[in-house]
Amino acid sequence: MFSLLFGLGLALLSGLSWAQVATTTSRVLYINSYHPGYAWSDGIEQAIRERLAAAGRPIEVSTEYLDSRRFPDAALRDQQATLLAGKYAAYKPDLVMLSDNDAFHFALKHRARLFPDIPIVFCGYNSFRPALLDGIRNITGVNEEVELTGTVELAIQQFPQTRTLVFITSSGDASSQRIRQIAESTVFPKYRDRFKLLELHDASLPEIQAALGKQGQDSLVFLSGQTRDTGNGRALTPVENGRLISAISPLPVYSFWDFHLGTGIIGGQLLTARDQGLAAAEQALRILDGTRADNLPVVMTSPTSPLFDYAVMQQFGLERSDLPPGSQLINQPHSLWQDYRWQIIGSLLLFAVESLLILALLRVNRQRRQALQALDAERATLERRVIARTVELADSNRQLQAEAEERGHAEAQLREMALTTESILLASPVAIAVYRADGQYVLGNENYAALIGCTPQQLMGFNFRELSTWRQSGLLDQCLAALADGELKKHSVHYVTLFGREIWADCLLLPLTLRNEPHLLVQFFDQSERTHMLQELEMHRQHLAEEVALRTGELALAKEVAETANRAKSIFLANMSHEINTPLNAIISFTDLLQRKSSDPQQQDKLGKILAAANNLHLILRDLLTLARLEANRLAIVAADFTRADLAARIDEAIADSIRRKGLALTLELAALPERMHGDLERLSQMLLNYLGNALKFTSAGGIGLTASIIDDGENDFLVRFAVSDTGIGIAAENQQRIFLAFEQVDGSSTRNFGGNGLGLGINRLLARLMGGEVGLDSQPGVGSTFWFTARLGKAA
Ligand code: ADP
């Protein structure tokens, strides 16, 4: 059972592979009537092979040559049949293709033996008639029937001036005979009317040449058959025939077959081997695709193509534009491009490749140059950098060296400073000590030890946190606060040290870090001495204050006594003046009475002198009385309204005459005063007369002036300034202050020389004060004096 299945599988597989081979490659046997090199049948074979190869399926084409043109003996065909029978007994073709008549007849004669049931496609069969296939099956093909009219029409169009058509015909072979038949039946009747027709039938070459030589230029030749001449022991081939006739023809020669092209003919609508082969190949492909040959009708109208020889065209003045569309040309002048296309393409490619290479080389070169430039630039940059870096390094070396030296100096300075600091610390007049934060004494200077009242050694082992004196004086709290908040603290202490010394000190507590540990710098500014001094000073000050208070009391008392005495003196003076004045008035009155009643001149003179002395005394008494009252504050100002004229009249009355009599000028400038005023006219006049009297007394030449000016004008009152100027003896600066004091004169001789009691100016000073003013003078010895006073007067209602 298993072996059966296996065998079935193998059979299926082998059957499949056979089927694959059978369907993949078709076998075509092509039988050529002639020999290799025969242009016509070679053209057909080439077209068949090209078309089948282009079909896109594997087709194997074998060719057999009958060589019947060179060896026409019929017996040879039979021998060839026997040969092919042997040859194709095992190699059965799928299709047999035949070209030209001999192969057609050979195949049909020997078909049963050679190719039974194998489809046949023929071509190149001249003047095929369908009756030839009567009773024959599985065959089709392509008729080879020349078409004359197409070529003749074309020729007439190309040479429109044509009048004569020459046809070279022959009856030597079947094809020539057939052409002649066609010409006689179709062409000649058609053109006979319009053209002169000349047929050169079976003519020899010389005859043809002679006949053509006689024709005018308006003639055309149609090669429709062979010359009568034969070749050297064999028939002339169509190509040889074409060459010979073209060579002798002075006229354009047209043909109907392609094999004549290139022999010297101009061309025509030609029946071509290629067209035959291509048409036959089309039918072969349809049969191989499964169509039965019987179902494909024979192609009766042979395909033709317009083909021309460009070289011959040019001989006869034809241009490309004269050709029908799709025409093919031979003997075209080869362009350089056509001749050397591949060389040119190759050269161009080579050139392009070389150009590309050159460009690439140039690019590479440029890149290399750029790279070199970049390298140079980079190197230059690097060199610059190196130089710059070297300079930098040198600089930084120098700097480092300088810094090292500086650091060395600084360290030396620091060491020195440390030493100095230590020296300063030790030598400092301030008592300095350093304690650790835990209270332990670290170091201190001698002043500190001295302040505490011990030796530096005794301080070792001190811990400020344990000192009751520091706790009680509040110093410990400040130390702890300074350590806690890191800020400087100040504190003043007063306590008795462990060593029995009483100290007053201002303390500065400065927290600091030494060798990364918190410490406390304690500075004691010893205030003991200062405190002692301050205490002494305080005592002294208190003593002085007591003394001053005592003295002040004594002075007040003395002043009181003096003032009391002064008042008593003034009262006494006032009383005395009054007391003296009363009898003096009696003396004056009675002396005056006696003088007026006496008729004795001597007595009168004596009485006059008594009267003058008494009057003088009266004046002195008046002044004394005034002064005493003023000093005892007993003089009251008696204010009343008065006029400027009143004041001027008083002066005029009292002194103007005396002044004028002494030969002095008197100037009164009272215009600044208001018309009416309110004040003590009596006292005002007294003050002015005191000044004017002095001026008169101390002036021997020149003049005296009185000027009034307002220096402060109020709403209800005004401050008036009266100034009396003279051109008298003047007063030295050193005497100017004191003459306003009562009883003061410049010198004692003044009284003797000028009289006077030294009371006038004193009275003026006190009266001015009483009137809210003051007095002053401006004087130059030998030039003159100006005495002034100010007084506040009311404005008259
Ligand atoms: P006496 O009665 O002496 O003039 P006074 O008090 O009026 O007293 O003057 C005091 C002194 O001031 C005078 O003795 C005199 O020496 C001096 N004196 C006053 N007025 C003048 C003046 N106009 N020129 C020079 N000396 C004057």
Residues paired with residue 122 on neighbouring β-strands, in sequence order = 98, 141
Q: Ligand 1 centroid vs 698 CA: distance in angstroms?
A: 8
Show Cβ contacts of residue 115 under 8 Å, excluding neighbours closer than 6 positions: 29, 88, 93, 96, 107
Q: What is the mean pLDDT of residues 726-733?
A: 94
Q: Is 96 exposed, middle or buried (0-12, 13-18, 19+ CB in 10 A)?
A: buried
- Higher per-residue confidence, 75 vs 753: 75
Query: Can you tell me which atom of ligand 1 is nearest the CA of 759?
Result: 6
Nearest-CA residue for ligand 1 atom 18 is 694
Q: Which two tokens stand for residue 501?
A: 């010394």
Task: Give me the pLDDT at residue 15, please.
Answer: 41
Atom of ligand 1 nearest to the CA of 757: 2
Length of the chain: 797
pLDDT at residue 224 is higher than 80: yes
696 lines ligand 1 (CB under 6 A): no
Residue that is written with structure tokens 């004008």 in the block: 713
Closest CA to 652 of 694, 612, 700, 685: 685
Q: Is 142 in the pocket of ligand 1 (CB under 6 A)?
A: no
pLDDT band, very low/low/confident/very high, at 176 (cuts 50, 70, 90): confident
Question: Which residue has the least CA distance to atom 4 on ligand 1?
Answer: 756
Q: What confidence tens digit (pLDDT) does each residue in 679-725 have?
A: 999 999 999 999 999 999 999 999 999 999 999 999 999 999 999 99
- Tokens standing for residue 220: 């055309």
Residue nearest to atom 21 of ligand 1 (CA): 694
What pLDDT is stored for residue 4 in this prediction? 36
Lowest mean pLDDT among 135-139, 342-346, 587-591: 342-346
C-alpha 522/C-alpha 514 separation (Å) is 14
How many angstroms does the Cα of residue 778 sit away from the middle of ligand 1? Answer: 13
Determine if ligand 1 sits within 6 Å of the CB of residue 746. yes
Q: What is the pLDDT of residue 9?
A: 38
In whole angstroms, what is the distance from residue 22 CA to residue 94 CA?
10
CB 115 within 8 A of CB 139: no
Residue pLDDT, tens place only, 122-155: 999 887 889 999 999 999 999 988 889 999 999 9
pLDDT at 738: 84
**C-alpha angle 767-768-773 in degrees, rounded to nearest 5:** 150
95-99 and 26-32 beta bridge pairing: parallel
Helix spans in 89-224 (H):
100-114, 148-158, 174-182, 188-191, 205-214
pTM above 0.75, yes or no: no
Closest Cα to atom 12 of ligand 1:
745
- Ligand 1 in reach of 724 Cβ (< 6 A): no
- Please name the amino acid found at residue 404: A
Give the integer Cα–Cα distance in Å for 768 and 176: 188
Q: Does ligand 1 come within 6 angstroms of the Cβ of 757?
A: yes
Q: Give SS3 for 181.
A: helix
Ligand 1 nearest-atom number relative to CA 747: 16
d(CA 761, CA 687): 8
What distance in angstroms lies between residue 437's CA and the mean position of ligand 1's atoms?
88
Give the residue, by CA position, lying nearest to ligand 1 atom 23.
695
Ligand 1 pocket residue status of 739, Cβ below 6 Å: yes
Rounded distance between C-alpha atoms, residue 50 and residue 45, angstroms: 9
Instruction: Give the residue whose CA is nearest to atom 14 of ligand 1.
Output: 745
Ligand 1 neighbourhood includes 241 CB (under 6 angstroms): no
Mean pLDDT of 62-69: 93
| CA–CA separation, 435 and 478 (whole Å) | 14
Does 785 have pLDDT greater than 50? Answer: yes
Please give the distance, rounded to the nearest whole angstrom, from the Cα atom of residue 563 to the centre of ligand 1. 27
Mutate to test the pocket of ligand 1, among 726, 739, 785 (most ligand atoms within 8 A of CB): 739
735 touches ligand 1 (CB under 6 Å):
no
C-alpha 416 to ligand 1 mean position (Å): 83
* Phi, psi angle pair for 237, to nearest 5°: -75, 160
- What per-residue confidence (pLDDT) applies to 145? 86
pLDDT at 109 over 70: yes
Assess whether the C-beta atom of 695 lies below 6 angstroms from ligand 1: yes
Q: pLDDT per residue over 598-637, tens digit each?
A: 888 999 899 889 888 888 888 888 888 888 888 878 889 9
CA–CA distance, 139 with 298 (Å, rounded to integer): 9
- Model confidence at 338, pLDDT cuts 50, 70, 90, reads low
- Cα distances from 496 to residues 313, 628, 789, in angstroms, run 156, 70, 72
Please state the atom number of ligand 1 nearest to the C-alpha of residue 764.
6
Contacts of 157 (CB under 8 A, 6+ apart): 322
Q: Could you read off the pLDDT of 193-218 as tens digits, one per residue?
A: 999 999 999 998 999 999 999 999 99
Ligand 1 center to 627 CA (angstroms) = 16
Residue for token digits 């004191």? 738
At 570, which helix (H) or strand (E)? helix 528-597
Q: What is the pLDDT of residue 158?
A: 94
Interval between CA 661 and ligand 1 midpoint (Å) = 20
